[in-house]
Amino acid sequence: MFGLPILSLIIFLPIVGAIIIAIVGRNDGVNDDDHVPYKNSSYLIAVLTTFVSFILALMVWNGFDNSLSTMQFMENIRWFSDINVSYTVGVDGISLPFVLLGTFVMPIAVLFSIKKDTKKVKELMISLLVLETSMLGIFLANDLVLFYVFFEAMLVPVFLLIGIWGSGDKVKAGLKFFLYSFLGSLFMLVAIIYILITQETTNFTHLMGSLSVLTYKEQLMLFIGFTISFAVKLPMFPVHAWQPDAYEKAPSSATIILGGALKMGVYGLIRYSFSLFPEVAHEYAMVLFVLCGIGIVYGSLVAIAQKNVKRMMVYATLAHMGLVGIGIFSGNQQGIEGAIFATITHGLTAVLLFLLIGSLFDRFKTYNIDAFGGIVNQTPRYAFVFMIGVFASVGVPGTAPFVGEILTFIGIAQVNIYVTMIAILSVVLSVCYMLYMFKHVILGAVSKDAINALKDLSSLELIVYAVLVLLIVFFGVYPAPLLKIMDATVHGIVSNYLIHIVSV
């Protein structure tokens, strides 16, 4: 577009913003009554940067050709001269939805990142922007080494966000996140090095299909290497233990990025585990189905037992991601499109719900479900938005997550009926805890004096929530724009998958 390297621009614009903030940004002017620290220059630069990134992403969407299954907007720059590793970025129907989601969520995360008592605003903004760069790099990289670099680079800002701006036992939570992710990704590093040595390239497009020259055993080992790393990120049972603490202790802005935008587990499983190793993915699909299925049931049951609202949402995420994993490895178009769609739309829903819960935490300094009750009496608009979030989360038709879920069900039903039953069980169980939570937090008579002091949505909240709600409903009724993006690409990897499993 206009001859500009637009993808590199998207990736590195936030870093540029971060550098500018580092040079000219200031820490003062936060304690504004209206919550919105207009006067803080770091904040304003960060908001502006993330907005521009989002607009650039929309421009990519505008120039994106839905009918192609290959990478578009490719940029290729030689990186290491002696080994065949290059800086290659490109976007296709699988990465574009994640890029759009990521760049959409970031401005929201930045907007809601500051509270009255937030310390070190400048450093917070820098961390958020660095996180955005690494996130976009993950989704846009078309080279395994480059991907790995961004993948690891992401750990630092997330760790800092949790460890510095989090609450409660935040350093431990950050450590847990870091160690889990890091250990998981070591397996992937080994796999990438092995591919680099044997194939003499790490370019994703070249590797697609060419990895079948490796022996089945080699492919299996590589598959495991990649999948463990992504399973931690997804998260998949039983490597999810970092998630509840990390999400709970993280500040809202980081939680909505983690839970809403940073879906690299899903992305990686589709892009690498499934696309590069179709035979293994087919052979070992059952193992993953079982783990994801356990995730669904286990996550839902533990969510039911939670007294902590935010942790309840976290276990709900575990259940949702189990469903997504099942969709991916069903290996047909409905399943994979359903998985991506569900990821994106559950991402939007998660952003909405985590923001809502976060704003409660700011007032009450607790997530305990018994601390609330009767909020609707004082703040009906807030309650209304919350209600939409709950309905979306349980997949009521007409909200966007339903489309993803039904596609996933249809996808998996073509493969295995028992797994389908477990998958559908998620929608029964989700109602149990979500409505229970809704009742205890929002409905009922006013139970505490503190609730009487609540103010309804501020104008900033009103706008952001209205956008989220409208998007959730819009994609529930008319999901075509999003489905069209991924159609050709998913068709491509599914055909590739089918060729390989037939030949086995």
Partner 1 sequence: MITLSVFSPFIAFILAGLSVLYAPSLKGKENNDTFAVAITVIGMILSLIGSISVAYATFVHNINATVHVFTWISSGDLHISWELHFDKLTGIMLLLVSTVSLLVHIYSIGYMAHDTSRRRFMSYLSLFTFFMLTLVTSANILQLFFGWEGVGVSSYLLIGFWFKKTSANNASIKAFVVNRCGDFFFTLGIALIFVYFHTLNLKEIFTQIPKVVDTHTMIFGSQINVITLICLLLFGGAMAKSAQLGLHTWLADAMEGPTPVSALIHAATMVTAGVFMVARLSPLFEYSQVVLNLIVIIGALTAFLAATVAVTQYDIKKIIAYSTMSQLGYMFASLGVSAYGVGIYHLFTHGFFKALLFLCAGCVIHAVSDEQDIRKMGGLYKALPITYIFMWVGNLALAGIPPLAGYFSKDKILEVLWSSGSVVGHFGYVLGTLAAFLTAFYSWRLIFMVFHGECKLSEEEQKHVHEASPIMWIPLIPLVLGAICLGYIASSLVGEHYSEFWQHAIFTLPSHKAVANVEDIPLIIKTLPSMLAVLGIVLAFLLYGIKSNIAKNLKKKLSLIFALLANKYYIDEIYDVIFTNNIFVLGKFLKVTIEDFILENILIVRVANSISALAKGLKTTQSGFINHYAFVMCLGLVVIVSWLFIEGGL
CB of 215 to partner 1, least distance (A): 32
What is d(CA 308, CA 214) in angstroms, rounded to the nearest whole number? 48
CB of 31 to partner 1, least distance (A): 29
CB of 216 to partner 1, least distance (A): 28
What is d(CA 173, CA 181) in angstroms, rounded to the nearest whole number? 12
Q: Mask: binding to partner 1, 390-419, rule CB under 8 A, as x and -?
A: -x----xxx----x--xx-xx-xxx--x--
What residues from 457 to 496 belong to the interface with partner 1 (CB under 8 A)? 477-480, 483-484, 487, 491, 494
How many of the chain's residues bind partner 1 (CB under 8 A)? 80
CB of 47 to partner 1, least distance (A): 23
Candidates 339, 347, 350, 276; CA nearest to 312 is 350
Q: How many CB atoms lie within 10 A of CB 215?
A: 9
CB of 331 to partner 1, least distance (A): 12
Q: How far is CA 65 from the centre of its chain?
A: 24
Q: Which of 428, 450, 460, 499 binds partner 1 (CB under 8 A)?
A: 428
What residues from 100 to 139 belong to the interface with partner 1 (CB under 8 A)? 134
Whether 319 and 296 have beta carbons less than 8 Å apart is answered as: yes
Nearer to partner 1, 57 or 160 (CB): 160
- What is the chain's percent helix, strand, coil content, to nearest 5? 75, 5, 20
Position 204: which residue type?
F
Whether 450 and 382 have beta carbons less than 8 Å apart is answered as: no
**HEC-encoded secondary structure of 294-352:** HHHHHHHHHHHHCCEHHHHHHHHHHHHHHHHHHHHHCCCHHHHHHHHHHHHHHHHHHHH
In a 10 Å sphere around its CB, with 0-12 CB exposed, 13-18 middle and 19+ buried, how is residue 502 labelled?
exposed
Whether 236 and 291 have beta carbons less than 8 Å apart is answered as: yes
What is d(CA 317, CA 258) in angstroms, rounded to the nearest whole number? 11
**Considering only 47-55, 116-124, 191-199, 425-433, which stretch makes contact with partner 1 by CB under 8 A?**
425-433
CB of 460 to partner 1, least distance (A): 17
What residues from 263 to 292 belong to the interface with partner 1 (CB under 8 A)? none
Q: Which of 73, 104, 139, 159 binds partner 1 (CB under 8 A)?
A: 159
DSSP code at position 269: I
What residues from 16 to 75 belong to the interface with partner 1 (CB under 8 A)? none
CB of 220 to partner 1, least distance (A): 25
178 binds partner 1 (CB under 8 A): yes
CB of 24 to partner 1, least distance (A): 19
Position 114: which residue type?
I
Nearer to partner 1, 214 or 304 (CB): 304
Q: Is 86 helix (H, G, I), strand (E, B) or coil?
A: strand
What is d(CA 232, CA 157) in angstroms, rounded to the nearest whole number? 18
441 binds partner 1 (CB under 8 A): no
**Considering only 109-117, 194-202, 351-359, 439-447, which stretch makes contact with partner 1 by CB under 8 A?**
439-447
Sign, CA dihedral 54-56-57-61, equals: positive
Q: Which of 193, 221, 425, 473 binds partner 1 (CB under 8 A)?
A: 425
CB of 411 to partner 1, least distance (A): 9
Nearer to partner 1, 8 or 212 (CB): 8
What residues from 293 to 332 belong to the interface with partner 1 (CB under 8 A)? 298, 301-306, 332
CA 404 to each of CA 298, 321, 370, 440: distance values in angstroms, whole numbers, following the listed order: 21, 12, 33, 28
238 binds partner 1 (CB under 8 A): yes
CB of 334 to partner 1, least distance (A): 5
Assigned token pair, 386: 């919350």
For tokens 């029964």, the residue is 428
Q: Which of 61, 64, 87, 474 binds partner 1 (CB under 8 A)?
A: 87
The partner residues of 368 in beta bridges, in order of sequence, read 308
Assigned token pair, 25: 């940004």
Q: Which of 22, 36, 74, 149 binds partner 1 (CB under 8 A)?
A: 149
Q: Which of 88, 252, 255, 334 binds partner 1 (CB under 8 A)?
A: 334
CB of 95 to partner 1, least distance (A): 18
Q: Which of 23, 197, 445, 502 binds partner 1 (CB under 8 A)?
A: 445
What residues from 188 to 217 belong to the interface with partner 1 (CB under 8 A)? none
The phi, psi pair for 288, rounded to 5°, reads -70, -40
Whether 315 and 299 have beta carbons less than 8 Å apart is answered as: yes
Q: Which of 28, 58, 216, 380 binds partner 1 (CB under 8 A)?
A: 380
CB of 30 to partner 1, least distance (A): 25
In a 10 Å sphere around its CB, with 0-12 CB exposed, 13-18 middle and 19+ buried, how is residue 418 labelled?
exposed
Nearer to partner 1, 24 or 241 (CB): 241
**Considering only 50-58, 108-116, 168-176, 273-281, which stretch makes contact with partner 1 by CB under 8 A?**
168-176
Q: Which of 376, 400, 468, 472 binds partner 1 (CB under 8 A)?
A: 376
CB of 214 to partner 1, least distance (A): 28
Nearer to partner 1, 277 or 409 (CB): 409
